[in-house]
Amino acid sequence: MTQVTVLGTGAWGTTLAQVLCDAGHEVLMWGRNTEVVDEINSSRSNHKFLPGIFLPENLRATTDVTTAFTFGKAIVLAVPAQSLRENLRSWKPIFPAGVPIISTLKGIEAETMSRMTEVIVEELGTDELLIGLITGPNLAGELSLREPAGAVAASPNEVLQHLMIDLFTTPYFRIYPSYDLVGCELAGAAKSVVALAVGMTIGMNLGENTQAMIITRGLSEVARFGHSYGANPLTFLGLAGMGDIVASCGSALSRNRQFGEAYGRTGTMEAARIEVAKTVEGVASAPAIRELAHRVGVEVPIIEVMADAVTGSITPAQAMERLMSVSTLAEL
Taking the CA atoms of residue 220, residue 303, residue 185 and residue 91 in that order, the dihedral angle to the nearest 10 degrees is 180
Instruction: Indicate if 48 belongs to the active site.
Output: no
Q: Return d(Cα 11, Cα 45) in angstroms, integer.
A: 11
Catalytic-role residue among 73, 92, 106, 191: 191
Catalytic residues: 191
